[in-house]
Structure 1
Amino acid sequence: MNANKALWEKGDFTAIAALMRDSGQALVASLGITPPLRALDLGCGDGTTALPLARLGAEVVGIDIASNLVAAGNARAAAAGLHKLCFEEGDACDLQGVADHSFDLTLSMFGAMFAPRPLDVAREMVRVTRPGGRIVMGNWIPNDPTSFVSQLLKISSAFTPPPPEGFVSPMTWGVEAHIVERFGAAGVAPENISTERDTFLFAAPDKGPADVVELFRRYYGPTMNAFDAATRNGTEQDLHRQLLELAHAQNRAAAGSGVAIPATFMRVSLAL
């Protein structure tokens, strides 16, 4: 089985996405969408950004490698009555069946960065976007002390076995030089690529830091794998302690008022 598919079908990212809904709304609002517009949300999960795009009148296709998230996205679209939004299963490294220049906007927030062949991902994103269109990515930044997920992934990696030979860390998508190199290989000039740091909040008034750690432990594939390995090695309590300390340290909400944990990321914009 495709290892990336297995990773994201292992848990249920919809539980994590519930903490990110405001981020999808804010991101889409910042794009200045003017229909008619056809958009691809790549690595879309259950539609945190795809649904706000469709609500603005865009025709949206969401593609994700995890079949459970595709099903959840289609259920959300149907419940919302968004008939110009559909979710399909697919691989960001090889968008089979997607024609060249199909979309005005190709978007990927914390999704395509986890596909294993980044040069292929960049090539495919450029291929399916029309000339004059744009690409927008949101990628976690390696070792960023202000980003909960970056630190969570760093801690988790210390408890998991070394990756296989040839593995390219998804976190390299948060480094400008790699971004320029990958899209450059796909034919995009450096002057058409811009990057900036951005931040949203994992926010929930009814949850505390311990609840957030438990959600990632139960539903987020990379964290689930770390706990599986830590359990085998007898280091489960140490992993849990480090993640709990991280969540408490980064929570910006007042005591007793839930969680507001910052998620700093690299926002990438390309003009084709």
Structure 2
Amino acid sequence: MNPNKALWENGDFTRIAQSMRESGEALVRSLGITKGLKVLDLGCGDGTTALPEAKLGADVLGVDIAQNLVEAGNKRTKDHGLTNCKFQEGDASNLHELKDKTFDLVVSIFGAMFAPKPFDVAKEMVRVTRPGGRIVMGNWIPNDPTLVAQILKISASYSPPPPEGFISPVTWGIENNVIERFGGAGIAKENIAFVRDTYLFNFPGTPSELLGLFRTYYGPTMNAFEAAEKNGRVADLQKELEVLFNSQNKSLDKGATSIPATFLRVTVGV
């Protein structure tokens, strides 16, 4: 099995995504979506940005590698009574089932960055976008001090070394890499814009309870705890993450959590 598929099907990202809905909706409102716009939401999870896109009138196809998330997305679409949004399985580095120049907008928020073969990912996103269309990515930034970059960094430090040839997902958070990858797909540097943006994780419980969800349902953290178990380091990993989650919580309500996480927002004109 594709290790990426195993990573995301092993957990249940839906449980984490619930804390990201508000920021997903806010980001989508900034995309200038109009009725009938054809949108591909790549690495869509269960639809944190895909459903808001459809609610604004776009015709949305969500593609994700994890079957459980595709099923969850289709269920959410049905529950919301949306007929202009559907989800299917697919790999961001090989979208062979999608035709060239099909979409007005390709969106991938913390999705395609996790696919292997980043140059192939960039080529595929450009290939399926019509001339004059846009690609918008949200990517976590390596060594950023905020939540998700630190979760990934801490998790990696407890996990076995990655296989040879592995390219870290957070390399998509470096501007020069993004320019090089889209350059390989024929996009000029002038057609790529960057801005630092913030996603909020809002959760109706304590930071420790939110960490519990990450430990139980988020693939990279699950793998780190599994590795730490074998090395007798579970308590160390738990403590390190507890400090992270509690120190970054900005909520004034002691029983609630609101943690901002900085990301690189990339806009590509095709």
Task: Please classify the TM superposition score into its range, dividing by the shorter chain length.
Answer: over 0.9
Which residue of 2 is the match for residue 200 of structure 1? 199
**TM-superposed deviation, 1:61:** 0.1
Offset at residue 255 of structure 1 (A): 4.6
Indicate the residue corresponding to 1:56 in structure 2.
56
Describe the SS at the equivalent of 2:62: strand
SS at match of 1:238: helix
Does the alignment pair 1:122 with 2:85?
Answer: no
Matched, 1:244 2:247: no
- Mapped partners of 2:185, 2:206: distance in 1: 43
**Partner-residue secondary structure (3-state), 1:203:** strand
1:33-182 pair list within 5 angstroms: 33-145=33-145, 147-182=146-181
The TM-score with structure 2 as length reference comes to 0.99
In structure 2, the residue corresponding to 1:131 is in which secondary structure? strand
CA deviation after TM superposition for structure 1 residue 34, in Å: 1.5
SS in 2 for 1:91: coil
Q: Which amino acid aligns with 1:221?
A: G
Q: 2:263 aligns with which of 259, 265, 268?
A: 265
Deviates more, 1:222-231 or 1:28-37: 28-37
Which residue identity is paired with 2:241? Answer: L
Give the drift of 1:104: 0.2
Paired residues, number? 270
Read off the aligned partner of 1:153 and give its amino acid letter: L
What is the deviation of 1:271? Answer: 0.9
CA distance in 1, matches of 2:125, 2:69: 20
Q: Distance in 2 between matches of 1:255 and 1:135?
A: 37
Which residue pairs with 1:234 in the alignment?
232
3-state SS of the aligned residue for 1:136? strand
What TM-score, normalized to structure 1? 0.98
Distance apart, 1:36 and its partner CA: 2.0
**Per-residue CA distance 1:202-259 (angstroms, 9 max, x = gap):** 012x211101110100000000000000001000000000000000110011151411
Aligned partner letter, 2:177: H
**Alignment-derived partner of residue 28 in structure 2:** 28
Q: Once superposed, which parts of structure 1, at least 4 consecutive aligned residues long, lie more than 4 Å away?
A: none
Q: Quick one: percent identity of the two aligned structures? A: 61
CA distance in 1 between partners of 2:62 and 2:125 (Å) = 13
- Partner-residue secondary structure (3-state), 1:121: helix
SS of aligned partner of 1:20: helix
**Letter matched to residue 154 of structure 1:** K
- 2:264 counterpart letter in structure 1: M
User: Who is 1:254 aligned against?
Assistant: 252
What is the Cα deviation at residue 119 of structure 1?
Answer: 0.3
Deviation at 1:21, TM superposition (A): 0.2
CA shift at 1:32, angstroms? 1.3
